Copies of this chain bind each other. A is one copy, B any other.
Amino acid sequence: MGSTDSTGSSGAPQPEPREKVASGQVQSVDRAIELLELMADAGGEAALSELAASTGLPLPTIHRLMRTLLSRGYVRQLPSRRYTLGPRLIRLGESAGRQLGAGARPYLTALAAELGETVNLAMIDRDMAVYVAQAASRHSMRMFTEVGRRVFTHATGVGKAVLAQLPDATVLEIVARVGMPAATPQTITDPQALLTELATIRERGYAIDDGEQEIGVRCFAVEVPGAPTPTALSISGPSARVGYDFAETAVPVLHRTAAELAKELISPGA
């Protein structure tokens, strides 16, 4: 992205660039996606008029787009005429998750088995980090997988490991957009402190999250080098079990696995 901007200097009688769809893209598709996202933000349900209010688009336009989504099963319509996200999206999401976590799973499972703690793979999605695969340790078998969950980048191991792959300017843009809320007293909440931390991470070769996301949980994370989308691999567990000495064992294994994962992600099945 970051395409047609910053060159607003010329005094040409520009007809107001605004926040239009980046050129070379399809307006109606972009709008349809915006509607889906809005519904997701609203908890998966919305009325037509609510969508109109949020987007500023005229009702007939939205209605037509929703009809299209409806016929494809991407949204459903309740008897109250309100819309909800549809069953077909589950399938797509599953497929995407499988694709992303595809070759990854065996590596993660092996890693979790070897180190005995929970392993996560996450990549950046807009301004957040999204978990795309997980191998749980036997200790904490959770009913609900974390896959699909989005977390702030500044407050998690994987998040910081991902940010460390980006230029500082981009990092600042991200935190400017989404902010840096504190999840715990340990969370980094200052942009400059974050940049310093990222420099340390690049130097050291791995990120540490020491109760910054959840008190009592420590996490070591490394980048997956050369992944198509900035990606990170982490291992985490209770501070009691996951001490700093644990890093000496874990980090080399993480790096090795990350390198293998990189190959797998770039040319699947190769």
Contact = CB atoms under 8 A, between A and B. Distances in A.
A90 B84 contact: no
Contacts of A26: 28, 32, 64-65, 68
A111 interface: no
Contacts of A125: 73, 86-88, 91
Interface stretch (A47-55, A95-103, A194-202, A232-240): A95-103
Instruction: Give the interface size class of chain A.
Output: 35 or more
A243 interface: no
Contact of A67 (B24, B72, B97): B24
By DSSP majority rule, is chain A's interface helix, strand, loop, or mixed? mixed
Interface string A116-127: 000000010110
A186 interface: no
Nearest to A97: B90
Given A68-B26, A76-B228, A229-B76, A99 B126 contact: no
Interface of A: 1, 21-22, 24-26, 28-30, 32-33, 36-37, 39-40, 43-45, 64-65, 67-69, 71-74, 76-80, 84-100, 102, 123, 125-126, 130, 132, 141, 145, 147-150, 228-229, 266-268
A96 B72 CA distance: 14
Contacts of A93: 89-94, 96-97, 148
A107 B97 CA distance: 27
A85 B96 contact: yes
5 shortest interchain CB distances as A-B pairs:
A93-B93, A44-B99, A85-B96, A94-B148, A89-B96
